[in-house]
Structure 1
Amino acid sequence: MLITFRCKAAPEVMMYKEHAKRILDLLNKDADRGVITAAEAPKAVETIEKEIAESRKHQAADEVQQDIKAHTAPDDKEHEGMETVSFATRAYPLLEMLRAARDHKCDVMWGVL
Protein backbone atom coordinates (compact mmCIF):
# COMPACT_ATOMS: atom_id res chain seq x y z
CA MET A 1 0.00 0.00 0.00
CA LEU A 2 1.23 3.50 -0.82
CA ILE A 3 1.03 6.63 1.27
CA THR A 4 1.02 10.01 -0.43
CA PHE A 5 2.35 12.93 1.59
CA ARG A 6 1.12 16.36 0.56
CA CYS A 7 2.36 19.83 1.40
CA LYS A 8 1.80 23.18 -0.32
CA ALA A 9 5.53 23.92 -0.20
CA ALA A 10 6.76 20.75 -1.97
CA PRO A 11 5.83 18.13 -4.57
CA GLU A 12 3.94 15.05 -3.38
CA VAL A 13 5.99 12.25 -1.86
CA MET A 14 4.83 8.66 -2.24
CA MET A 15 6.17 5.87 -0.07
CA TYR A 16 5.27 2.30 0.68
CA LYS A 17 3.37 2.22 3.94
CA GLU A 18 5.83 -0.23 5.50
CA HIS A 19 8.71 2.19 4.86
CA ALA A 20 6.79 5.31 5.90
CA LYS A 21 5.69 3.61 9.12
CA ARG A 22 9.22 3.60 10.51
CA ILE A 23 9.48 7.36 9.99
CA LEU A 24 5.98 8.06 11.28
CA ASP A 25 6.57 5.89 14.35
CA LEU A 26 9.58 8.08 15.18
CA LEU A 27 7.27 11.09 15.02
CA ASN A 28 4.50 9.37 17.01
CA LYS A 29 2.12 9.61 14.06
CA ASP A 30 -0.41 7.15 12.66
CA ALA A 31 0.54 5.62 9.31
CA ASP A 32 -3.03 5.60 7.95
CA ARG A 33 -3.89 9.27 8.24
CA GLY A 34 -2.42 12.32 9.87
CA VAL A 35 -0.81 15.70 9.80
CA ILE A 36 2.49 17.18 10.83
CA THR A 37 1.68 20.79 11.53
CA ALA A 38 3.95 23.68 10.62
CA ALA A 39 4.70 24.03 14.34
CA GLU A 40 5.73 20.34 14.56
CA ALA A 41 7.88 20.40 11.41
CA PRO A 42 11.12 21.70 13.01
CA LYS A 43 11.06 18.95 15.64
CA ALA A 44 10.19 16.35 12.98
CA VAL A 45 13.17 17.41 10.87
CA GLU A 46 15.45 17.22 13.90
CA THR A 47 14.15 13.77 14.88
CA ILE A 48 14.60 12.30 11.40
CA GLU A 49 18.07 13.84 11.03
CA LYS A 50 19.12 12.27 14.34
CA GLU A 51 17.80 8.87 13.26
CA ILE A 52 19.64 9.15 9.93
CA ALA A 53 22.88 9.99 11.74
CA GLU A 54 22.37 7.06 14.11
CA SER A 55 21.57 4.65 11.28
CA ARG A 56 24.77 5.63 9.46
CA LYS A 57 26.83 4.61 12.49
CA HIS A 58 25.72 0.99 12.14
CA GLN A 59 26.37 -1.30 9.23
CA ALA A 60 23.71 -3.72 8.05
CA ALA A 61 23.00 -6.31 10.71
CA ASP A 62 24.56 -9.74 10.38
CA GLU A 63 21.06 -11.24 10.16
CA VAL A 64 20.30 -9.15 7.08
CA GLN A 65 23.55 -10.19 5.45
CA GLN A 66 22.80 -13.86 6.23
CA ASP A 67 19.32 -13.47 4.73
CA ILE A 68 20.78 -11.97 1.56
CA LYS A 69 23.26 -14.82 1.25
CA ALA A 70 20.55 -17.41 1.87
CA HIS A 71 18.44 -16.05 -0.99
CA THR A 72 21.30 -15.67 -3.45
CA ALA A 73 22.98 -18.75 -4.85
CA PRO A 74 26.78 -18.42 -4.96
CA ASP A 75 26.92 -19.62 -8.58
CA ASP A 76 24.09 -17.32 -9.77
CA LYS A 77 25.67 -15.19 -12.49
CA GLU A 78 22.44 -14.07 -14.19
CA HIS A 79 21.07 -11.87 -11.41
CA GLU A 80 22.60 -8.77 -9.99
CA GLY A 81 23.56 -8.79 -6.35
CA MET A 82 21.05 -7.75 -3.74
CA GLU A 83 21.30 -4.11 -2.70
CA THR A 84 19.93 -2.76 0.52
CA VAL A 85 18.34 0.68 0.67
CA SER A 86 19.42 2.69 3.67
CA PHE A 87 17.08 4.48 6.04
CA ALA A 88 18.66 7.78 4.96
CA THR A 89 17.83 7.11 1.32
CA ARG A 90 14.25 6.14 2.09
CA ALA A 91 13.68 9.09 4.43
CA TYR A 92 15.28 11.77 2.23
CA PRO A 93 12.23 12.77 0.12
CA LEU A 94 9.99 13.15 3.17
CA LEU A 95 12.76 14.94 5.06
CA GLU A 96 13.06 17.45 2.20
CA MET A 97 9.29 17.97 2.28
CA LEU A 98 9.40 18.56 6.03
CA ARG A 99 12.22 21.08 5.60
CA ALA A 100 10.12 22.94 3.02
CA ALA A 101 7.10 22.79 5.34
CA ARG A 102 9.20 24.18 8.17
CA ASP A 103 10.61 26.98 6.02
CA HIS A 104 7.26 27.94 4.44
CA LYS A 105 5.19 27.27 7.58
CA CYS A 106 2.93 24.66 5.94
CA ASP A 107 1.41 21.44 7.17
CA VAL A 108 2.26 17.98 5.80
CA MET A 109 -0.75 15.67 5.44
CA TRP A 110 -1.35 12.08 4.38
CA GLY A 111 -4.31 9.76 4.16
CA VAL A 112 -6.77 12.56 3.44
CA LEU A 113 -7.75 14.15 0.14
Structure 2
Amino acid sequence: MLITFKCKSYPEVLMYQEHAKRILDMLNKDMERGVITAAEAPRAVALLEGEIEESRKHQVSEQVERDVHAHHGDVEDNDHEPIELVTFSTRAYPLLEMLRSARDQQTDVLWGV
Protein backbone atom coordinates (compact mmCIF):
# COMPACT_ATOMS: atom_id res chain seq x y z
CA MET A 1 0.00 0.00 0.00
CA LEU A 2 1.18 3.52 -0.79
CA ILE A 3 1.23 6.60 1.39
CA THR A 4 0.93 9.99 -0.29
CA PHE A 5 2.63 12.82 1.56
CA LYS A 6 1.30 16.28 0.69
CA CYS A 7 2.72 19.72 1.34
CA LYS A 8 1.77 23.11 -0.11
CA SER A 9 5.42 23.97 -0.76
CA TYR A 10 6.51 20.72 -2.44
CA PRO A 11 5.19 18.14 -4.95
CA GLU A 12 3.49 15.01 -3.57
CA VAL A 13 5.76 12.21 -2.39
CA LEU A 14 4.63 8.58 -2.68
CA MET A 15 6.18 5.88 -0.52
CA TYR A 16 5.34 2.28 0.14
CA GLN A 17 3.87 1.95 3.60
CA GLU A 18 6.56 -0.53 4.64
CA HIS A 19 9.29 2.02 3.83
CA ALA A 20 7.49 4.99 5.36
CA LYS A 21 6.90 3.05 8.60
CA ARG A 22 10.53 3.40 9.71
CA ILE A 23 10.39 7.17 9.29
CA LEU A 24 6.96 7.65 10.82
CA ASP A 25 7.84 5.44 13.80
CA MET A 26 10.96 7.53 14.36
CA LEU A 27 8.78 10.67 14.39
CA ASN A 28 6.11 9.00 16.60
CA LYS A 29 3.47 9.45 13.89
CA ASP A 30 0.56 7.24 12.87
CA MET A 31 0.80 5.38 9.55
CA GLU A 32 -2.80 5.84 8.49
CA ARG A 33 -3.22 9.58 8.86
CA GLY A 34 -1.20 12.41 10.27
CA VAL A 35 0.53 15.73 10.08
CA ILE A 36 4.01 17.05 10.65
CA THR A 37 3.42 20.70 11.44
CA ALA A 38 5.71 23.51 10.35
CA ALA A 39 6.82 23.77 13.97
CA GLU A 40 7.74 20.05 14.04
CA ALA A 41 9.52 20.12 10.68
CA PRO A 42 12.98 21.26 11.94
CA ARG A 43 13.11 18.38 14.44
CA ALA A 44 11.85 15.93 11.80
CA VAL A 45 14.56 17.07 9.37
CA ALA A 46 17.26 16.70 12.01
CA LEU A 47 16.06 13.22 13.03
CA LEU A 48 15.80 12.00 9.45
CA GLU A 49 19.20 13.42 8.50
CA GLY A 50 20.71 11.65 11.51
CA GLU A 51 19.04 8.36 10.60
CA ILE A 52 20.25 8.66 7.00
CA GLU A 53 23.81 9.38 8.14
CA GLU A 54 23.72 6.41 10.50
CA SER A 55 22.40 4.12 7.76
CA ARG A 56 25.25 5.17 5.45
CA LYS A 57 27.82 4.06 8.02
CA HIS A 58 26.65 0.47 7.73
CA GLN A 59 27.29 -1.36 4.51
CA VAL A 60 24.82 -3.93 3.25
CA SER A 61 25.16 -6.84 5.61
CA GLU A 62 26.27 -10.25 4.51
CA GLN A 63 22.90 -11.59 5.61
CA VAL A 64 21.09 -9.37 3.09
CA GLU A 65 23.48 -10.49 0.35
CA ARG A 66 22.86 -14.14 1.27
CA ASP A 67 19.10 -13.56 1.13
CA VAL A 68 19.35 -11.98 -2.30
CA HIS A 69 21.43 -14.85 -3.64
CA ALA A 70 19.13 -17.42 -2.03
CA HIS A 71 16.13 -15.95 -3.83
CA HIS A 72 17.84 -15.40 -7.15
CA GLY A 73 20.58 -18.04 -7.12
CA ASP A 74 23.99 -17.86 -8.72
CA VAL A 75 22.70 -18.78 -12.16
CA GLU A 76 23.03 -15.91 -14.59
CA ASP A 77 19.59 -15.00 -15.85
CA ASN A 78 19.62 -12.83 -18.96
CA ASP A 79 15.85 -12.32 -18.91
CA HIS A 80 15.93 -10.06 -15.83
CA GLU A 81 17.60 -6.84 -14.83
CA PRO A 82 20.45 -7.18 -12.35
CA ILE A 83 19.43 -6.88 -8.71
CA GLU A 84 20.01 -3.44 -7.24
CA LEU A 85 19.53 -2.81 -3.56
CA VAL A 86 17.85 0.50 -2.74
CA THR A 87 19.29 2.11 0.37
CA PHE A 88 17.31 3.77 3.14
CA SER A 89 18.85 7.13 2.25
CA THR A 90 17.66 6.82 -1.35
CA ARG A 91 14.14 5.92 -0.26
CA ALA A 92 13.99 8.68 2.38
CA TYR A 93 15.47 11.48 0.26
CA PRO A 94 12.22 12.73 -1.38
CA LEU A 95 10.47 12.96 1.99
CA LEU A 96 13.53 14.66 3.50
CA GLU A 97 13.40 17.27 0.75
CA MET A 98 9.68 17.78 1.40
CA LEU A 99 10.36 18.23 5.12
CA ARG A 100 13.10 20.75 4.37
CA SER A 101 10.70 22.68 2.16
CA ALA A 102 8.02 22.55 4.86
CA ARG A 103 10.53 23.83 7.40
CA ASP A 104 11.75 26.65 5.15
CA GLN A 105 8.31 27.69 3.85
CA GLN A 106 6.49 27.16 7.17
CA THR A 107 3.97 24.66 5.77
CA ASP A 108 2.64 21.35 7.10
CA VAL A 109 3.16 17.86 5.71
CA LEU A 110 -0.01 15.73 5.61
CA TRP A 111 -0.84 12.14 4.70
CA GLY A 112 -3.95 9.99 4.75
CA VAL A 113 -6.33 12.90 4.22
Fold-level similarity (TM above 0.5)? yes
Runs of 4+ in 1 over 2 A off after TM superposition: none
AA partner of residue 41 (structure 1) = A
Higher mean displacement: 48-57 or 72-81? 72-81
TM-score for the superposition, normalised by structure 1: 0.95
Share of identical aligned residues, percent? 65
Alignment match, 1:67 = 67
SS in 2 for 1:63: helix
Query: Aligned-pair distance for 1:64?
Result: 0.7
Query: Aligned-pair distance for 1:85?
Result: 0.4
1:54 aligns with 2:51: no
Alignment match, 1:43 = 43
Instruction: Summarize deviations over 1:14-54 as a string: whole Å, max 9, x none.
Output: 11111111111111111110000000000000000000000
Query: Within 2, Cα distance between the matches of 1:50 and 1:85?
Result: 18
AA partner of residue 91 (structure 1) = A
Instruction: Summarize deviations over 1:66-112 as a string: whole Å, max 9, x none.
Output: 10111122222313331110000000000000000000100000001
Alignment match, 1:83 = 84
Alignment match, 2:2 = 2
Query: Within 2, Cα distance between the matches of 1:75 and 1:82?
Result: 13
1:96 aligns with 2:97: yes
Give the length in aligned residue pairs.
112
TM-score for the superposition, normalised by structure 2: 0.95
Stretches of structure 2 that go unaligned for 5 or more consecutive residues are none
Query: Within 2, Cα distance between the matches of 1:94 and 1:63?
Result: 28
